[in-house]
Amino acid sequence: MGKKIFLYVINVIIFALLILLFISFWASGEILTGFIACAALEFLFLFGSIIVYHLSIISDVMTRQNERAEKERQQRENERKN
């Protein structure tokens, strides 16, 4: 849950920075350049956040599998001792 909140906060911050970047290009008269730059940066961030989100899911699944395997190993050892 903490990872999702962290990604959300980072997304909001970067989106705000992209808006400021677009406004600065707009103020200088380069509206099209600002739009292209913001769109490219947003695409890169979106792609990166999707990768990070999926890696966190994979990490959670692997952690659960390792915990389950550890419990099964402990159960087998307890059965052998009994």
Number of domains composing the chain = 1
Kindly state the percentage of the chain with pLDDT values over 70. 95
Predicted model pTM: 0.51
Q: pLDDT tens across 22-47, in order?
A: 788 878 888 787 778 778 877 877 78
Which residues span the domain enclosing 75? Answer: 2-81
pLDDT averaged over every residue in the chain: 81
Determine contact, residues 54/47, Cβ cutoff 8 Å.
no
- How far, in Å, CA of 78 to CA of 59, rounded? 29
21's CB contacts (< 8 A; 6+ apart) are 34, 37, 38, 41
